[in-house]
Structure 1
Amino acid sequence: MFATFEKLVDPFPAGPARSPPATFWPFVWHYAKPVRWLLVGMAVLSGVIAVIEVSLFGFLGSIVDWLSAANPETFLADEGWRLAAMAAVILVVLPGLALFESLISFQALFGNLPMRFRWTAHNWLLDQSLGFFQDEFAGRVSTKLMQTALAVRETIMKSIDVFLYVAVYFTGIIVLLAAADWRLMLPFVGWLVLYVAMLRYFIPRLGAVAERQADARAEMTGRIVDAYANIGTVKLFAHTPREVTYAKDAMRLFLKPVYGQGRLITQFFVCLLFLNSLLLFGVGAMGIGLWVNGLVSVGAVAVGIGLVLRLHGMAQWIMWEVSALFENVGTIRDGISTFTQPIALTDAPGAGALAVTDGEVRFDKVSFAYASAKPHRAAGPVVGDFDLTIRPGEKIGLVGRSGAGKSTLLNLLLRFYDVQSGRILIDGQDIAGLTQNSLRAAIGMVTQDTSLLHRTIRENILYGRPDATDEEVCHALRRAEALDFVEALVDREGRRGLDAEVGERGVKLSGGQRQRIAIARVMLKDAPILLLDEATSALDSEVEAAIAENLYRLMEGKTVIAVAHRLSTIAALDRLVVLDRGRILEEGSHAELIGRGGLYADLWRRQVGGFLDAGDDEPQSAATGVRAAE
């Protein structure tokens, strides 16, 4: 029975994630719509249960009247069938309805609805551009994902549970008391007017403070996670006290809306308690007055006072539920700003897959500038009217001072950013009209800042080609001079070799080990276009020399673009392109550029001066050049 209801909602729907609306109720409905019929069923059951519970108080009044006037000897004979019917309602119908409502609430919706949100929102976030994540704390985004998922569920379910149940229940109270005497319902009507006025005062304020609290909570969590993720840097600079203070500042900011919420709840609670006391006094006084004048029965008075006592407890429950509800409303409003941001980079309608035949890459009058709103980059043009053709199978090196635009060109080729003007073509195909996945599948890249997934060595290597065998994985590791240290790895769970986990961002490995894993991953991918951005910067000379030969074998038949500040690692490439402020300053072979005496020659002399003879400007090979420079 439980499993049947648990399967009514698919927590992992197929198909692409769609952007939710940016306003509150349409945003909530976007996630509620797929389960709307279950919500309708839950609402109907909740309403029926409320009607039955109110009816029980009416039945209680009838029993009081029956007992006050009935003959004990004939009471069961006279009223037995009605007692039996009510017993069936109490023992069978009400528990049965509550069971079905619980199955819908806790089996079908409780776990599946927030997981469905997480699944679709996570898919949506993964499609966001690189710039989106560079502008956000990873911990802040993940916190919002988890918080908002639960807040959407609670908002949907509590709106039904609280507002519908209470509306039906209170309507039943008014009808029941009006049937006895219309004057008996007047205190309840007055209470309702004042209660609604109180809600109108407190609810917007609770919602506003809850939104500030959700944002402050996400900021606090983001700061804490940032410290944990960069714990090596924290300890290296002996800044543990600084991080404690940094987190404490966020915690203090978080406490401000928490204190504000607590003050509002206290005021709400005291006002509600006073209002309920007035209701109890009013119903008691009205009931006794009507009874004294013979206008209502003892049972009607008992029902009125019983309903007040029930409403007294219910009103406090409503207060806490409404407080929680509007805390969730604030959380959702805070999450909307993140989960409704448009995706900056999308595939063009009808985008096709890249087909690499030769591997020619051409930058055609490309211009690009980082927007001033991007704090991680300075505003202004990085490349302007840039032209460069890389022939099929050609190996070129990009050279220049920091900020010359080398890494930006690689990011544009990978389409992490879109060009402002011009085109980038691969074998004559404009990458703007291709799917991003097919483009990046055809490009292998090794970066200087190697970040591994917190998974096993095998899973990290298989990122290059998920269908590869263990034999192929080991072959790639061997070519990257990494197999020996991988076979010796043991993680804290005792897993060894390929099954050992590397820790968050690969922190259990040294920088050189992480870089060799990254090189092995690209070797396994074996893409036709290869990008190397300081690919061997973290390696010592001996390992670099050993890997260099394998890298050159990997380059065979591929189009290669390499970026390196250590010029000896790229001096033997087919062509070197020297950049300055996003433009080509000079290009040619190593020997040609040395002979011209320009920027490249100046950079070369700065790096190897004092270690090479004046005439020894031509490296014998990549590996020889590396050893010479060292």
Structure 2
Amino acid sequence: MSPTGWRRFRFPFFPFRFQLPKEGLNAHHVFVHSIRRPRPVAPAGLAPAVSIFRSQNGSAGQRTCPWRGSRDADPFRRNPMTGPGGQRRPVRKETAMFRRFERLVDPFADETLTVPPKGFVAFCWHYTRPVWPILAAVSALGAVIAVLEVTIFTFLGDLVNWLGTESRESFFSDNWGRLAWMATVILVLLPLAHLLWELLFHQGLVGTYPMSVRWRVHRYLLRQSIAFYQNDFAGRIANKLMQTALAVREVVTRVADILVYVSVYFTAAVVVVAEANVRLAAPFLAWLVAYVLVLRVFIPRLKDVSREQADARSIMTGHVVDAYSNIATVKLFSHAAREEAHAKGSMTAFMATVFRQMRLVTVLNTTLTALNTLLLFAVGLLSILLWQRDVVSTGDIAIAVALVLRLQGMSQWILWEVSGLFENVGTVQDGIATIAREREVTDAPGAGPLKVTRGEIVFEAVRFHYGKEAGVIEGLDLTIRPGEKIGLIGRSGAGKSTLVNLLLRFYDLEGGRILIDGQDIARVRQDDLRAHIGVVTQDTSLLHRSIFENVAYGRPEVSRAQVVAALEKAHALDFVDTLEDRDGRRGLDAHVGERGVKLSGGQRQRIAIARVLLKNAPVLVLDEATSALDSEIEAAIQDSLFDLMDGKTVIAIAHRLSTIAAMDRLVVLDRGRIAEEGTHDNLLARGGLYAQLWAHQSGGFLDPARGG
């Protein structure tokens, strides 16, 4: 596997390469020989530092911890450049210099979202446009550094010749101009070029470039349809987002910097050797041809196995995250061993791709070592023969041998860079398959805002099959009058939740249309449509954030007092006041865990009710909104729900019919069609499907005639 986890610093004449993690600096630096594969060194750990910090500041769980705790407990939360009391921290000159380059690219720039291209080159360019000026400068500096480094080798040859021919007494006076130029290149030009390259690359690109990709991809994926996320692992999607961002950076920077540097370096080296003697350049050209052939044979194979490896890694990550996300189910059924076997299968498949890759690497390294040895032997032998004929000087031989040794060291590095390039090409191609999908539900051209003045909802000949030939919703017509409160009833799979999802435009209709106050919802902006609809679902999902942020999610500008009032109406304030997370945050500031896992089902549902109370949208959808509540709590919040429904158009779904029997109208669905509709009393009198469902619930699920 190529060492893509480390970024290289080049120093001329040094047989070492300074390695740093590609995502940022680390206190544990690694020096590795340039012809050996770099190996990351594990950090010693942060435990000593944390212990010292805790001894001075208290435990991390206390509210006074500077980087954790409530909003009020963190004096640096709003502006990291200010200390306690609002005093601005002094900025050192070197920090200001770094910050100037770090701000060359704004990774969070707003732009119009478009579908990412599906072609590899077009995809990379799509996410490279914000940084291309810096990339061009980095490439140009890489070429300059390559020329300067080869120039130093010509100085070396001159020195060898001078030491054999020049007079000691007049050496400096005879060659002062050449020596001054050598000193300028070595002491001024090359260090300055390296410094500017480092600043542009590490401050201007390494952090901001992948973050720009992540930001733009994340914004695009947030606007994907519900179906996009239902058909894939959330962990796998997130993993591809992270991997692809880094891989795009690695591919583009390798092409723009490293390949340019290597191409210019080798061309300059051949020119320098050819100036001494054209025949001396022959082994270099022969080695180049053989080296390119080796790359042509091995790189495509590495590319294929790398693509398989990237996909296997995503699947492995998805399986692991899936088990962690559903850990309660795993424990409930005592299936830890089964999940181990499930994960082991994907891990074994991933290891198989690693083994195939390492076999290729072993053969490739052996071939390259033999090729480098032949180059050294050929140049050495040819140099001796030409020297015997007095065709080349000692200095020319010194230049040729020094360049051979330099190229030997570089060849292994080049190989790994090219191998890493194609490994990342495979990762990008794997990411394109997920990221560059067109959105299934998009705003129509010229879509405008939704204006809800009355709240009338009309379903006209609505047809939807989830892409199948038949089933779910078939030619449904339904008109809900302004301010009317209807209950949707039916067996599981009758289409109740699907109808709500279509109203929210989570899916596009396959036929018909839905109107709100005469406006086709397919012709208005999705965000505006959903802003006018408040929803409480049976499967309440909360963000892993504070109680305050979850309740205020529909109206981020509200005050804490308004959030407290909503929680009180939802009868949630009592348990919220007692909450405390592992970081010591309490009450409204306590975090609820992933999907709200730290709360019970009833507690999550009360938070959701508080959230929709605060949103106060003109259309209200209650999909089993009180299914997780006990009878006492449900009865207690009925008044709040009735107050919320007042003056709104309401669609309520419930399997417990007693909770919606008092609605203005009940609509009974069966196989995607309206079977009957009317008030509770009218439907009971008809003796149809509703009457059957009511009889089952009011009389119990067991038939007395069968006993029990």
The one of 595, 605, 619 aligned to 2:695 = 605
Give CA-to-partner distance per residue, 1:592-614, whole Å, 9 cap, x none: 11111111000001011169xxx
The one of 263, 272, 275 aligned to 2:359 = 263
Q: What does residue 254 of structure 1 align with?
A: 350
CA distance in structure 2 between the partners assigned to 1:355 and 1:202 by the alignment: 62
Q: What does residue 333 of structure 1 align with?
A: 429
CA distance in structure 2 between the partners assigned to 1:66 and 1:460 by the alignment: 78
Tell me if the contact between 2:547 and 2:589 (Cα under 8 Å) persists in the aligned partners.
Answer: yes
Q: How does 1:346-385 map to 2 (within 5 A)?
A: 346-372=442-468, 380-385=470-475
Query: Aligned-pair distance for 1:481?
Result: 0.7
Q: What does residue 410 of structure 1 align with?
A: 500
Q: Does 1:36 align with 2:132?
A: yes
Structure 2's unaligned 5+ residue stretches are 1-96, 702-708
CA distance in structure 2 between the partners assigned to 1:195 and 1:600 by the alignment: 79
CA distance in structure 1 between the partners assigned to 2:421 and 2:358 by the alignment: 15
CA distance in structure 1 between the partners assigned to 2:551 and 2:699 by the alignment: 39
The one of 550, 575, 578 aligned to 2:640 = 550
Query: Aligned-pair distance for 1:390?
Result: 0.4
Deviates more, 1:10-19 or 1:594-603: 10-19
Deviates more, 1:68-77 or 1:310-319: 68-77
Q: Does 1:101 align with 2:197?
A: yes
Q: Does 1:481 align with 2:571?
A: yes
The one of 522, 530, 538 aligned to 1:440 = 530
The one of 381, 385, 396 aligned to 1:285 = 381
Give CA-to-partner distance per residue, 1:316-359, whole Å, 9 cap, x none: 11111112111111100000111110011111111111100110
Query: Aligned-pair distance for 1:380?
Result: 3.0
Q: Does 1:496 align with 2:586?
A: yes
Q: How does 1:67-466 map to 2 (within 5 A)?
A: 67-372=163-468, 380-466=470-556
Query: Aligned-pair distance for 1:381?
Result: 2.6
Q: Does 1:532 align with 2:622?
A: yes
Query: Aligned-pair distance for 1:81?
Result: 2.6
Query: Aligned-pair distance for 1:162?
Result: 2.2
Cα 1:560–1:61, aligned 2, differ >3 Å: closer, same or farther? same
Tell me if the contact between 2:105 and 2:204 (Cα under 8 Å) persists in the aligned partners.
Answer: yes
CA distance in structure 2 between the partners assigned to 1:205 and 1:160 by the alignment: 23
Q: What does residue 579 of structure 1 align with?
A: 669
CA distance in structure 2 between the partners assigned to 1:119 and 1:193 by the alignment: 42
Tell me if the contact between 1:348 and 1:432 (Cα under 8 Å) persists in the aligned partners.
Answer: yes
Q: What does residue 375 of structure 1 align with?
A: none
Tell me if the contact between 1:213 and 1:254 (Cα under 8 Å) persists in the aligned partners.
Answer: yes
* SS of residue in 2 equivalent to 1:362: strand
CA distance in structure 1 between the partners assigned to 2:412 and 2:508 by the alignment: 55
Q: Which amino acid in structure 1 is aligned with residue 612 of structure 2?
A: V
Q: Which amino acid in structure 2 is aligned with residue 399 of structure 1?
A: I
Q: Which amino acid in structure 1 is aligned with residue 421 of structure 2?
A: L
Q: Which amino acid in structure 2 is aligned with residue 430 of structure 1?
A: D
Cα 1:164–1:556, aligned 2, differ >3 Å: closer, same or farther? same
* SS of residue in 2 equivalent to 1:453: coil
* SS of residue in 2 equivalent to 1:505: helix
Query: Aligned-pair distance for 1:268?
Result: 1.1
Query: Aligned-pair distance for 1:34?
Result: 2.0
TM-score when normalising by structure 1: 0.95
The one of 648, 655, 675 aligned to 1:565 = 655
The one of 132, 146, 155 aligned to 1:59 = 155
Q: What does residue 46 of structure 1 align with?
A: 142
Structure with the higher helix share, 1 or 2 = 1
CA distance in structure 1 between the partners assigned to 2:422 and 2:357 by the alignment: 11
Q: What does residue 624 of structure 1 align with?
A: none
* SS of residue in 2 equivalent to 1:21: coil
Tell me if the contact between 1:367 and 1:381 (Cα under 8 Å) persists in the aligned partners.
Answer: no
Q: What does residue 611 of structure 2 align with?
A: 521
Give CA-to-partner distance per residue, 1:517-549, whole Å, 9 cap, x none: 000000000101000110000011100111122
* SS of residue in 2 equivalent to 1:561: strand
Tell me if the contact between 1:17 and 1:121 (Cα under 8 Å) persists in the aligned partners.
Answer: no
CA distance in structure 1 between the partners assigned to 2:420 and 2:392 by the alignment: 40
Tell me if the contact between 2:136 and 2:256 (Cα under 8 Å) persists in the aligned partners.
Answer: no
CA distance in structure 1 between the partners assigned to 2:348 and 2:470 by the alignment: 37
Q: Which amino acid in structure 2 is aligned with residue 317 of structure 1?
A: W
* SS of residue in 1 equivalent to 2:668: strand
Q: How does 1:17-28 map to 2 (within 5 A)?
A: 17-28=113-124
CA distance in structure 2 between the partners assigned to 1:160 and 1:590 by the alignment: 72
Structure 1's unaligned 5+ residue stretches are 373-378, 612-630
CA distance in structure 2 between the partners assigned to 1:276 and 1:80 by the alignment: 37
Identity of paired residues, percent? 60
Q: What does residue 626 of structure 1 align with?
A: none
* SS of residue in 2 equivalent to 1:276: helix
The one of 572, 593, 605 aligned to 2:683 = 593
TM-score when normalising by structure 2: 0.85
CA distance in structure 2 between the partners assigned to 1:114 and 1:588 by the alignment: 58
